[in-house]
Structure 1
Amino acid sequence: MKGIMVLGTASDSGKSLIATAICRAFANEGIKAAPFKSQNMSNNSYVTMDGKEIGRAQGIQAEAAGIEATVWMNPILLKPKSDQQSEVVLLGKAQEILSGRGYRDSFYEKGIETIRLALGRLAEEFEVVVMEGAGSPVEINLKERELVNMKVAELADIPAVLVADIDRGGVFASIVGTLELLPPEERERVQGVIINKFRGDLSLFEEGVEWLEDRTGIPVLGVLPFLENHMIDGEDSLSLPPSAYKDGLEIVVLKPPYISNYSDIEPFYFEPDVSIRWAARLSEIGSPDAVIIPGTKSTIRDLQYFKREGLDNWMRSFARRGGYIAGICGGYQMLGEQLADPLGSDTGSVHCREDGIGIIPAETTFSADKKTVRTVAKLVPSIGRDIIVQGYEIHLGRTAATHPHGGQSLLLLEDGTEEGYYGKDGRVIGTYLHHLFHNDEWRNCWLNWIREEKGLPLQDTIHIRSLKELKYDELAEHLQNHLDWERLKEIVFSWRKHHEMA
């Protein structure tokens, strides 16, 4: 197998973005590359064509590489449900809920076996595998049974590069400290260092590069300037995009503690007149034109959090005033009247019930089996807009209307069944369809309803997909302009030969 492992000195150092750029750069040169992260911990997930669930970062990296994402690219996904427990998704299917200790004690051998299987499948189909580590490779308390950093590079027998975030400060200590804590055989795999998120005059860091190379004996392959507005979906809450303020409409996104699939919001950042404000408390709400409640990995717990913060009362008042409200997946469930968890699949406590916010006349019942599926649908004809939408569903609950005249469905699925909720002439909508607002025609339609009511100019449709393809190319170009690309390729393709001769 030929490949490269992208390690980081810490979480959010930019591993995912750099791996995405490498995938695109290889693809642009006609090299068939696949992304890989053996174990991902994230609630921002991605559904493959065959209805399996993987980390969103690997789904995006596969898009950048021009290939279809599969479970072999992220065989183990951990989805946090609380501070102590995570759902284990193995080869795209939810298996069990384990504590950190339980996972570490009982899952290691199965994890190694699954990783070997996945690497073998990728080696059969691709020329290069672009691997991504997690956090730091020198978490001493976890290292003995880790499943994602140097152990995986060893299994695949590939070299590694170490990425450090200079924007957060302490870059010299983070690089030298990481290398010092690696045992000699692992340090030997680190063939290059990448300094990421640099701001200012690059010439001012030339002495820093020389010092690092003299101190470590490892070449600095490049210093990458901070890249604004890259439009590449983040992996976890550390990558949550910031609030953005513009003249025009303001959308508040309620931020639950266990937020999932926040990439649902990202297309709004590319609308010329739409501000996004993330709010977790009543004091952060402001006076928005619309509110979106995104998905969550722990619906009832996050609903209880919103209640403690007084956001449920504010939402009901906002709805009475005619405000625009959209709930996606867990947000849709919260907007209903009742949530029932008879098996404890959402909360961990059987027979749990919770009153919803009560804006949508519906009740959700959580079940043991998770639904993960790619979906194509169209707006229900009575809405009066002939719009086809695509997305994916990831959820345990099933939501049913409790009052037949309290609104109507939002979507008509390909099999003829109806889904979601549409009420108050579009002012209240709810759906299980993640990436609803990635559908450009629908997003433009919804925003123009709000613009028209506010007396603002209507806008033309922004085509996100074509913009995203341009962003992948810009990202690859950014990498190649500031990194010794030819040297990185030499590391990838010459490692095994040089390693065997050593």
Structure 2
Amino acid sequence: MTTLMIQGTTSDAGKSTVVAALCRWLARQGVNVAPFKPQNMALNSAVTCDGGEIGRSTALQALACGLVPHSDMNPVLLKPQSDRGAQVILRGQVYGNMDAMDYHAFKRTAKDVVLAAWEALTQRHDIVIAEGAGSPAEINLRAGDIANMGFAEAIDCPVILVGDIDRGGVFAQLVGTLALLSPSEQARTQGFIINRFRGDPQLLTSGTDWLQQYSQKPVYGVLPYLQGLLLDAEDSVAHAGEHQAGALKIVVPRLPRMSNHNDFDPLRLHPQVELIFVGKDEPIPAADVIILPGTKNTRQDLAWLIEHNWPEHLQKHLRYGGKVMGICGGFQMLGSSIHDPEGLEGQPGSSHCLNLLPFTTHLEAQKVLRKQRGQMHDLNGTGKTSTFSGYEIHMGRSEGHALSRPLTHSDGGPDGAISDDGLILGTYMHGIFEQAEALNTLLTYFGLAAPQTTTNYTHHREASLDRLADMIESHLDTRALLRHLKLL
């Protein structure tokens, strides 16, 4: 068993993409490889085969390996609930809420969890490609570190450092990061990868030659900036794709604690859809549909919506015949009230909601984590239902009259709601837009007269992973990588 760790000079340097690329490249050669991220902080998560949840980007890396995501692949997941606190997920299950200082003291326990999960993963796989978090040179976070060099030192694995040239200053990024590491960590760092380069790589030769001479470490390759790449992200919201004239306009409020925004990736890709995220103090445009997304803190994000006049806009939108949909936390907001007596998402208490559907939600400590397959209600009077698949990640239990007209039926029972006038939908299901049949049903309901058959989202994701593997094959010193993995 061999582990190779990819660390980055900054957040969003491209670590997740490089790990996914290496995983797919190795898997295509028949290597029994798995991804591992000791600690992740993200609001985008996926349900695992063992009934837990992990970061969405690690789940993508598992798919790159041809594996079903497992909670051992991301043993510590922090889901921010405020600027100072987060929900702590250990090996897929909720451990509790902690503020930053409490978690810092908890790291010794978290380290044991990380090492146990890594050990379990190595029993099942020959190669592990591990991913760091943020930067290994964050001085204030180095004590008790389990996300970067602290983990690498504990298991004694080599590290490759990734820098993002698209941000600018990539040589300062790489040299500065290396300089802030301890002597043993510097020795552990085998070399560099420069990511997201636009143009002719020969123009960079003088810089990479200098870097290799200065650091006495190799540059394993310069990866190109891949246009049009859309993959499951940890937190950053991808730009929408191109759309046709007269496209269906869908508006999504960019909630402060928005989660699982990957729900909207199939809409981003659809040429007949114009997807617009609206943030703080941005004007709310007229739209055909408004979708309230999932959130890690439903009551606080509901207060944000109210502060920014979304309730008035929603009422006006509905008066003019617009459609509204809520997903997970966004669905809870459509009801009459949310009760959080235990303070699971902040201060204990209750909140009045948008009152667009007659139901209430009670937050409970036991989180619902399950994948679902089933049938969606006949929304368009065609006389037939459409199949869907998705997953649930939520802490709320909803009840009330609105749920007597559910949107879906699956092995888990009925889910969601449809308003009496047919203008409002709600569901706990994430990923409901990913299957073409369900997507076309919903787009028709939203007002698109003839939805085009577009690229299957699952196929698009697979093609993107193969594109990343091709990039590794063409632009990295693969023989050196294989030597680090003891495959040569």
TM-score of the superposed pair, with normalisation by structure 2: 0.95
- Post-superposition Cα deviations, 1:85-108, rounded to whole Å, max 9, x if no partner, equal 111111111011111100111x12
Letter in 2 for 1:488: L
The aligned residue for residue 499 of structure 1 is: none
In 2: Cα distance, 1:243 partner to 1:30 partner: 35
Structure 2 SS opposite 1:493: coil
The aligned residue for residue 253 of structure 2 is: 254
Partner of residue 446 from structure 1, selected from 438, 442, 446: 442
Displacement of 1:283 in angstroms is 3.5
In 1: Cα distance, 2:386 partner to 2:294 partner: 23
Letter in 1 for 2:432: L
The aligned residue for residue 227 of structure 1 is: 226
The aligned residue for residue 372 of structure 1 is: 369
Displacement of 1:381 in angstroms is 6.0
- Post-superposition Cα deviations, 1:320-359, rounded to whole Å, max 9, x if no partner, equal 2211221100000111121111221122x22x12111122
Letter in 1 for 2:387: I
The aligned residue for residue 498 of structure 1 is: none
Letter in 1 for 2:364: S
The aligned residue for residue 179 of structure 1 is: 178
The aligned residue for residue 26 of structure 1 is: 26
Letter in 2 for 1:465: T
Letter in 2 for 1:84: R
Structure 2 SS opposite 1:326: strand
Contact 1:372-1:394 at 8 Å conserved across structures: yes
Residues 14-163 of structure 1: pairs in structure 2 closer than 5 A: 14-105=14-105, 107-163=106-162
Q: Would the alpha carbon gap of residues 115 and 242 (structure 1) be closer, same or farther in structure 2, given more than 3 Å must change?
A: same
The aligned residue for residue 337 of structure 1 is: 336
The aligned residue for residue 488 of structure 1 is: 481
In 2: Cα distance, 1:206 partner to 1:93 partner: 47
User: Are 2:264 and 1:271 equivalent residues in the alignment?
Assistant: no
The aligned residue for residue 358 of structure 2 is: 361
User: Are 2:405 and 1:408 equivalent residues in the alignment?
Assistant: yes
The aligned residue for residue 4 of structure 2 is: 4
Displacement of 1:413 in angstroms is 2.2
Structure 1 stretches of 4+ with a deviation exceeding 6 A read none
In 2: Cα distance, 1:475 partner to 1:164 partner: 17
In 2: Cα distance, 1:323 partner to 1:290 partner: 6
- Post-superposition Cα deviations, 1:235-285, rounded to whole Å, max 9, x if no partner, equal 12xx21124452212211111001111110111122122111110246432
Q: Would the alpha carbon gap of residues 188 and 215 (structure 1) be closer, same or farther in structure 2, given more than 3 Å must change?
A: same
Contact 1:32-1:128 at 8 Å conserved across structures: yes
Contact 1:251-1:274 at 8 Å conserved across structures: yes
More off after superposition, 79-88 vs 376-385: 376-385
In 2: Cα distance, 1:145 partner to 1:282 partner: 39
Contact 1:230-1:475 at 8 Å conserved across structures: no
In 2: Cα distance, 1:392 partner to 1:314 partner: 30
Structure 1 SS opposite 2:335: coil
More off after superposition, 216-225 vs 377-386: 377-386
Contact 1:38-1:147 at 8 Å conserved across structures: yes
Structure 2 SS opposite 1:252: strand
Letter in 2 for 1:133: G
More off after superposition, 381-390 vs 217-226: 381-390
Residues 460-475 of structure 1: pairs in structure 2 closer than 5 A: 460-475=453-468
Q: Which runs of 5+ in 2 are unaligned?
A: none
In 1: Cα distance, 2:283 partner to 2:199 partner: 32
Partner of residue 432 from structure 2, selected from 436, 444, 451: 436
Displacement of 1:42 in angstroms is 0.6
User: Are 2:414 and 1:418 equivalent residues in the alignment?
Assistant: yes
Q: Would the alpha carbon gap of residues 385 and 282 (structure 1) be closer, same or farther in structure 2, given more than 3 Å must change?
A: farther
In 2: Cα distance, 1:403 partner to 1:465 partner: 32
Contact 1:194-1:221 at 8 Å conserved across structures: yes
Q: Which runs of 5+ in 1 are unaligned?
A: 496-502
Letter in 2 for 1:316: Q
- Post-superposition Cα deviations, 1:342-396, rounded to whole Å, max 9, x if no partner, equal 221122x22x121111222221111122111111221246874321211111111
- Post-superposition Cα deviations, 1:150-171, rounded to whole Å, max 9, x if no partner, equal 1111222211110001111111
In 2: Cα distance, 1:189 partner to 1:61 partner: 24
Displacement of 1:494 in angstroms is 7.2
Structure 1 SS opposite 2:72: helix
Q: Would the alpha carbon gap of residues 155 and 129 (structure 1) be closer, same or farther in structure 2, given more than 3 Å must change?
A: same
TM-score of the superposed pair, with normalisation by structure 1: 0.93
Contact 1:363-1:402 at 8 Å conserved across structures: no
- Post-superposition Cα deviations, 1:416-454, rounded to whole Å, max 9, x if no partner, equal x321012356532111111111122111121133344xx
- Post-superposition Cα deviations, 1:42-66, rounded to whole Å, max 9, x if no partner, equal 1100101232111111111001100
In 2: Cα distance, 1:283 partner to 1:477 partner: 40
More off after superposition, 327-336 vs 285-294: 285-294
The aligned residue for residue 285 of structure 1 is: 284
Q: Would the alpha carbon gap of residues 254 and 491 (structure 1) be closer, same or farther in structure 2, given more than 3 Å must change?
A: same
Contact 1:268-1:274 at 8 Å conserved across structures: yes
In 2: Cα distance, 1:244 partner to 1:461 partner: 13
In 1: Cα distance, 2:436 partner to 2:421 partner: 20
More off after superposition, 12-21 vs 332-341: 332-341
More off after superposition, 8-17 vs 314-323: 314-323
Structure 2 SS opposite 1:449: helix
Letter in 2 for 1:225: P
Displacement of 1:461 in angstroms is 4.9
User: Are 2:345 and 1:346 equivalent residues in the alignment?
Assistant: yes
Letter in 1 for 2:84: Q
In 1: Cα distance, 2:395 partner to 2:151 partner: 32
In 1: Cα distance, 2:434 partner to 2:484 partner: 38
Letter in 2 for 1:341: D
Contact 1:444-1:461 at 8 Å conserved across structures: no
The aligned residue for residue 202 of structure 2 is: 203
More off after superposition, 137-146 vs 284-293: 284-293
- Post-superposition Cα deviations, 1:119-157, rounded to whole Å, max 9, x if no partner, equal 211111111000000100011111011111011112222
Contact 1:13-1:164 at 8 Å conserved across structures: yes
Letter in 2 for 1:468: R
In 2: Cα distance, 1:465 partner to 1:244 partner: 17
